[in-house]
Chains A and B, each alone.
Chain A
């Protein structure tokens, strides 16, 4: 009985991380119409940079939250740079853009291997969140609950950003109809950079706060990218609600699959995606077919 509960908590935690990862992926897809294949790499680079800050450079150690903020800003800047310098050179050519992101992801993976080596790095859980929280008769690990709370806060924040601000209205307009958005005077190309940086930052942030649970290792990017892809195909592109629901579903399937069917865990993970593709190609909450 207790096993199920632990699994459920782990699933929601993992779903929270996936939401942070895939929300950016989904927004970039919605606006720029490309799957950003560097998204796994951004997650991993964020995790590595964050881990370096936390473990300390030359004896100077950093609080995980400060490290998270710094690494997020760094990776967001990197993302904006990649969009400005490379993707911008291929306007409207989505295939070429996808291939560029693919090339970049290989370069990033190899650079990480050069800089941080092949050994996994484990990030310590922040001291104030070690231990457990008691809710009645049930006991939960504090850090996992913290991740759930953080993901929920970000979900609300992103929703407010998209639904209640001018920038959000412009992004939504760009997602719905980029040409029309241009006609009414929205600089869609500027939105591209903003959304790309935002998505990169969110992915990196997920990487850092996921560090204590997942550990940081080469190949983390290849593990996370397909998950983001599945979440977005499942939930629908450009839809925040879609990423949210998709992340929770995938979080559950991932954890329960690992526990119950370890040999076929990966296969089970992709089943809902196949079902959605067959029955509802635009995704659960998407508006157009990719």
Chain B
């Protein structure tokens, strides 16, 4: 328990001092990106990991918030009002999204979320009078909460860090609460949960809402970070990218999506410096991880760690057969 506490403390100290030891503004910006993508991945993980519902339309929800912020600012609203209204619009959208896609689970859920994501993309792309079409929307300024201007790179980082820590704490509480346990119950044994008197559909619906809330929060940070939003943000590639973050890190763990977001953002940033072919690499990593390490990096390394430290007398080194990992 103490090692865990120590590790948490070190991680916290490292995160807190990023602007001090990072070699330049560029890297602090990368760190901010990692943090808000980690919030996005945490949100998707609530569905993928804990509810067992794989969504391929989350970039659409992400885009709704981002466009809503942009549009409200264009209407001349102040930052707090714009953010608040955007979050409200997003939650309503998430509720509709969830009500439609929860008609089904498993593969059906994937198909419906994919289709809904494509609708949102299509709206962003074609509804030019509202979204500016391919030209997108630009945001002129970043907000200045309590007099701290977020235009400053370090201040933006700290604001992102605070929201990230709050989101992480909220997710941890959510997952460990009785509700989280019930959610995992509906993932593993929906029929038994139903027989026990749980309202399976409602539990999944609330999980969607929580996931959508985290998605919207990360989208607000994103749209203020780039100060620009275009239909590209809503594309299927974007949904797949977040899903890759969740799956590569390890779905159904708290740390997994954060590790995955770090991996994807770093690889993307580093690789795009050398080659333009990020999509090819994304696809290749996806295929490789699904086939070779289906439960992700965090559970994979944790298993390795246990194997090294706990020399079990029977069948040492025997990997427990996980989902789909057949030779």
Q: Does B193 contact A (CB under 8 A)?
A: no
Task: Quote the shortest CB–CB distance from A116 to chain B (angstroms).
Answer: 14
Q: Does A107 contact B (CB under 8 A)?
A: yes
On whether A106 and B111 interact (CB within 8 A), knowing A93-B323, A93-B324, A266-B125, the answer reads no
B119 contacts which chain A residues (CB < 8 A)?
A: 266-267, 270
Asked if A98 and B291 sit within 8 Å, CB to CB, the answer is no
Task: Quote the shortest CB–CB distance from B177 to chain A (angstroms).
Answer: 26
Residue of B108, B111, B116, B279 with most partner-chain A CB within 10 A: B111
Q: Which residue of B has the minimal Cβ distance to A221?
A: B236
Q: Render A249-290 as a binary contact track against B, CB cut-off 8 A, 1 for contact.
A: 000000000000011111101100110011001000000011
Q: Point out the residue from B115, B280, B326 that lies within 8 Å of A90, measured CB to CB.
A: B326
Q: Render B116-134 as a binary contact track against A, CB cut-off 8 A, 1 for contact.
A: 1011001101111100000
Asked if A263 and B277 sit within 8 Å, CB to CB, the answer is no
Task: Quote the shortest CB–CB distance from A120 to chain B (angstroms).
Answer: 16
Question: How many chain A residues have a CB neighbour from B under 8 Å?
Answer: 47
Q: Does B184 contact A (CB under 8 A)?
A: no
Q: Does B263 contact A (CB under 8 A)?
A: no
Q: Which residue of A has the minimal Cβ distance to B54?
A: A95
Asked if B284 and A107 sit within 8 Å, CB to CB, the answer is yes
Asked if B126 and A33 sit within 8 Å, CB to CB, the answer is no
Q: Does B240 contact A (CB under 8 A)?
A: yes
Asked if A274 and B291 sit within 8 Å, CB to CB, the answer is no
Task: Quote the shortest CB–CB distance from A265 to chain B (angstroms).
Answer: 6
CA distance A269 to B125 in the complex (A): 14
Q: Point out the residue from A89, A95, A102, A107 that lies within 8 Å of B280, measured CB to CB.
A: A107
Asked if A265 and B115 sit within 8 Å, CB to CB, the answer is no
Asked if B115 and A106 sit within 8 Å, CB to CB, the answer is no
Q: Render B275-307 as a binary contact track against A, CB cut-off 8 A, 1 for contact.
A: 001011011111100110010000000000000
Q: Does B154 contact A (CB under 8 A)?
A: no
Question: How many chain B residues have a CB neighbour from A under 8 Å?
Answer: 44
Q: Does B104 contact A (CB under 8 A)?
A: yes
On whether A106 and B237 interact (CB within 8 A), knowing A91-B326, A263-B127, A290-B104, the answer reads yes
CA distance A95 to B122 in the complex (A): 26
Q: Does A5 contact B (CB under 8 A)?
A: no
Asked if A103 and B277 sit within 8 Å, CB to CB, the answer is no
CA distance A289 to B108 in the complex (A): 8
Q: Does A189 contact B (CB under 8 A)?
A: no
Q: Does B176 contact A (CB under 8 A)?
A: no
B279 contacts which chain A residues (CB < 8 A)?
A: 106-107, 109-110
On whether A262 and B126 interact (CB within 8 A), knowing A93-B324, A106-B282, A111-B280, the answer reads yes
Asked if A103 and B287 sit within 8 Å, CB to CB, the answer is yes
Q: Which residue of A has the minimal Cβ distance to B52?
A: A95
Q: Which residue of B has the minimal Cβ distance to A110?
A: B280
Q: Does B31 contact A (CB under 8 A)?
A: no
Q: Which residue of B has the minimal Cβ distance to A88?
A: B326
CA distance A268 to B221 in the complex (A): 31
CA distance A81 to B323 in the complex (A): 23
CA distance A139 to B114 in the complex (A): 40
Q: Render A90-134 as a binary contact track against B, CB cut-off 8 A, 1 for contact.
A: 111111101110111111111100100000000000000000000
* 25 A-B interface contacts by CB (under 8 A): A33-B107, A35-B107, A35-B111, A35-B114, A37-B114, A89-B326, A93-B294, A94-B106, A95-B107, A98-B54, A99-B247, A100-B286, A102-B286, A106-B286, A111-B280, A222-B236, A226-B114, A229-B118, A233-B111, A262-B126, A265-B126, A266-B119, A266-B125, A273-B115, A277-B112
Chain A residues proximal to chain B, CB less than 8 Å: 33-35, 37, 86, 89-96, 98-100, 102-111, 114, 222, 226, 229-230, 233, 262-267, 269-270, 273-274, 277-278, 281, 289-290
Knowing that A99-B290, A103-B287, A263-B129 touch, tell me 16 more A-B residue pairs with CB under 8 angstroms: A35-B114, A89-B326, A90-B290, A93-B294, A96-B294, A100-B287, A102-B283, A103-B285, A103-B290, A108-B283, A226-B118, A263-B127, A266-B122, A266-B123, A277-B103, A289-B104
